Each structure stands twice: as structure tokens, then as C-alpha cells.
Structure 1
Amino acid sequence: MFLEKTKFDIICLTEHWLNDHQIMSINYENYCVVSYFSRKCMIHGGSLILIKNSVKSKERKDIIRLSVEHSIELSCVELDKHVVVCVYRPPGYQNLSVFDSVMEDVLKKLSTSSKSIIISGDFNINLLETNSNSIRLISLFKSFNLSNVFMEPTRVTASSATCIDNIFCNCDYLHKEIVNKLPSDHSGQTITFCAYIPVQKIQIRYRPITCKNLEKLNNTLTSKLCVQNFNNIWDPNEFYAEFFTLLKSQFNDINPQKTKSIYTKFLFSDWATPGIRKSRDKLFELYGLRQHVKNTNFHQHVAKYSKTFKSVCKIAKALYISNKIKSADDKIKTTWQIINNETGRKKQRNTLI
């Protein structure tokens, strides 16, 4: 059996043709069915997602409940940094308006999260043809910043070659491939993506400038300039070069370089609200103007705005962490994970899925 030989971590299947009882009896070594949709009134169709036992995931029942039998049949799982949806849209354009409406609702729900979205499945719309249906499908996903990964035939018969199966995503992937020679009249599609954002140690070099060091620099330059002979230099460029060399050497001696390690923590996109994003853009704009505006009141306004922004960010991040702990099954474990992550002690694997 293909599933017993595969090394894939997540497998999305459409048209499994199984009922609830048959799905519950599926037993593949190291795999389990995390999410599925099976038909109640008609036969065939359906979608399901199998995941290796080593991959942490949970079912998104709120997405599955949006399914409409024989129009759009959904299964959905949520990972650490991604949401994976498996879609089956039966052939025939009579149900395209229903598909569009439900798919838009799905994308609206998923887009409120900071997690990346990966949608795979059999859409039964040929993207190799430029017509109203293919344009409609691509435009729907692009309106939520999702792009199709494949533009190659995924179903080849004696009389046709169509691209009706695809993967749409709004994240970077490391590898993609069309899988042929399957026990099906459709080809498979695979992508490889990074399941975690690893905690990285970044070292920066800086010079700590203090009032004491500035005073020392002022005194040193005063004494040096008194004894320095600039009287014989008539060329302005040469004069500037000599003066700047003196200034730079004294500045570097009095303010020696230091190295500091910075660890990646919660991403800004994890906890930032739309209002905070707008405030950040405005703050960057004010920082840019501050360099050119020599007005004390304006500088005080920028400083006050910056202080308020930092305060709001602290509150938003604290609320995000609080909600994360409250919604966790194991609150103590989640608390320590957050502490280790924020202090740079947690080193996540750069796992590929």
C-alpha cells in the first residue's frame, strides 16, 4: 500500500469513498486520521487528512462544519505554525457559486490567525485553461494572498491533460513535486515546508555611548586639538580628513565595541493587532521626520508616542500569552515553554514537513 511506504508527514486524500465506520477502522502504522468528511446522503466523494503520530496537530471542526455535501467537502488540521485544509469539489459547475461562498468563509476564518495557510485538494477546475472558472478560482485565493503551487497536468488521460488538483498557500515552501505512478487516475502533489520557526541566536556589535563617555571625549578632543598642528594644512579636504581621523580614533577608544546576543522570541505577527500595526507604521514615519525637524515640541511628541506604543505592545503581548496559557490543555507545560522561549533557552528543531 502506498501509505505504508511513504515518508510524508501529512497526507491529504480526496474521494476516499468511505463512510464514518470505515474511516474509524483505518489502521496504518505510525499514521492516524486526524480530520475527515464523509458523505451521509450520497456515495463516493469525501476528504480526509492522515498525519504521522510524531506530528502534533488538532482538528479544526469549525472549518469542517462549513462543508456542503456534493459542493465542497472539507477536512482541516492545525499545526504549530500552519493550518492545512483538504478540499474536494465534485465536477460540474452547477455548484461553483456554493463552493465560492463556502471557500470565502473558510479563508475569512483562517486569515484572522497569524498562522500560514496551506489548502490542497481536487478542485475539478483546469488551471491550464484561461476561462471564467479558472480565473474565478485563482482570484478567490489571491484575494487572501494564496497562490497556486502547480501549473502542470495532474490528471492525464488518452484524450486530455488537465491541472485540476493543486496546492494553494501563503507561505514559503522548500520543495515541490508531482508524484506519478499512483494507484489512481490523478497524480499526487507534494510540498516540503518548515514546520517550526527555529529560535536563532543573533549576535550584534554596538558601542554603548554614555554621558560620562561623551564628557571624556569632549575633554580629550579639547586637549588634543590644542596641541594638534592644523595651521600648515590649507586644503579643506585634507584638513577634514585629518580632523575626522582624530575624532574617529578618540571616539572608538573611549567607546569600545561590545557584543550582545539576541534570541528570536514571539513574532510581532503572533500578537500584534491591526491597530498596533498601523501605529507602528506611523511611528516609523515619525522617526523619519524627526531627523529633519528641529522642533523641541515635535521631538517630545515623538518620544511620547513611542512610549505609548511600547506600553500598548506590552499589554497586547501579555494578553496574547495569557490567552495562550488559558486555552492550553497543559497550562504548566505551556507556561514553561513560553518562559524558555522568551529567555532564549528553548531551541526548536528546524523540522521539515
Structure 2
Amino acid sequence: MLDDIKNKSVIVCGDFNIDLGNTVAINDFKNYMGIAGLCPMITKPTRITTHSATIIDNIYTNLHGDIINGIFMIDVSDHLPVFTIYDNFCINTMQDNSFVIIRDKSSKAIEDFREDLKRQNWDQVYTNDLNNAYNAFMTTLINLYDKNCKQIKICAQTAKISFDKPWMTNGLKNACKKKNYLYRMFLKKRTEDAECRYKKYKNKLVSIIRKQKKDYYTNLIDKNKGSIKNMWGVIDTVLHKGKAKIITPDFITK
């Protein structure tokens, strides 16, 4: 891969599973990236547990300029999200009549994808050659994903950002802030007690939010029982039908 990026502006992001904090074990990796002119943007741990803190998620680039790097202290997974902001990195805004490409991730598409996976012959994956097994698995997975979750071209005007969750009360939003605070305390202290308090609070909060969401739509359906049109409108909302939505913002507030 590195041979193909010479003389190009490159940003390589990912979970490299190579701990940059372990200087002894990563010499070859650092040398390869250095020869390609790629420098790591993240220098602090991205996966933190009670017994370890490793720098395994990173952004490598050969770009220069005004750069802001950082880590989001949020619990979307057991790895902390990383980011890099380039002030002089130009992104063309879409015109009103432009189009965007999204994937069909409807319930039917996902179910068809799942059934196709069940019907596959995976004999090529069960081999002693690890590389061949991985390549066979990924080739089959990607081909079936492309087959069932097709790309759809839609007008950019219909792709609106929406973060509104009407069942999220002010109390629940404040509870989410407390959950995030407990997570940051766990990352700071890295003790079993801090981890236990965070996980206990998070699990309880998730249960409450799920119940709140269920109750919200139950009440909404009850209120619209007298109108078939309104009832189907509620059902379409639950099934995420209608206008396509992109939930990724096109900005980061510093």
C-alpha cells in the first residue's frame, strides 16, 4: 500500500492494533511509515482499561499546515474516537442540485444480506493459510453487502441532518452528561471501582432510555388510532422510512 502512495497527499486512518507507546515492538512499523513520509497525529492512549493504556488508533498523514489533533472522550466503543482538523484543507460544498450516495440499510436489505450469508459455502475460510482465509472471507462479505445493500443516489436537498429524539427529556440529557462524566473519571483513575460505577450507571441509563422511547411511540400510536394516514406516518417514522437522513455533521465545533 505504501508503494502506491508516493508523491500523493495522503491521510491514513484506522485501528492499527500496533501500540505506539511500545517503542521496542514497533520499530519496523515506524520505519515503514517514516519512509513513506507519514507521521502519526495521535500521541495519547486511545484504548484504556484498568490494566492498560495503548495508542493503537491513529491518523497518519504527509500533509502540512495548521493542524489540530485530538481524542474525543466519549464511550461510543471501547476505543476513543480520534480526529485531525486541517484549517487549510479545502472541501467543496455541494450545490443545491447535487447528489449524494447512501447505502440501502432498510430492514429488508439487512435481512436479505443476513440470509445470503447463511447460504454461503465458507470452506475457503477454514484453511491453515491465515491470509487466504481472511481474503476469502472479506471478498464474500463485501460482495454480498454490495449485492443486498445497494448504493442509492439521492438529491442532496433531501439529505438533512437530524439529531432530534423527542423522547429524550431534559432529565435524560442531564443523565447522559453524568454518564459521560463518570466515563471520563474512569479513564482518569483507571480503577475497578470507577469502572464499576460508570458501567452500572450506563446500563441503568440505557434501560431507561429504551423504555422512554418505547413509551413515546406507544402513546403516539394511541393518539393516532383514529387516522390510518397518521398511523402509517408514525410507523414510517419508527422504521426510518421517508426522506433519507445523514447523521454525520459537516463541521466540528472547536
Question: Greater relative contact order (Cα 8 A, min sep 6): structure 1 or 2?
Answer: 2
Return the index of the structure with the highest Cα Rg: 1
TM-score, with normalisation over the residues of structure 2? 0.34
Give the structure-1-normalised TM-score. Answer: 0.26
Q: Going by fraction, where is strand more abundant, 1 or 2?
A: 1
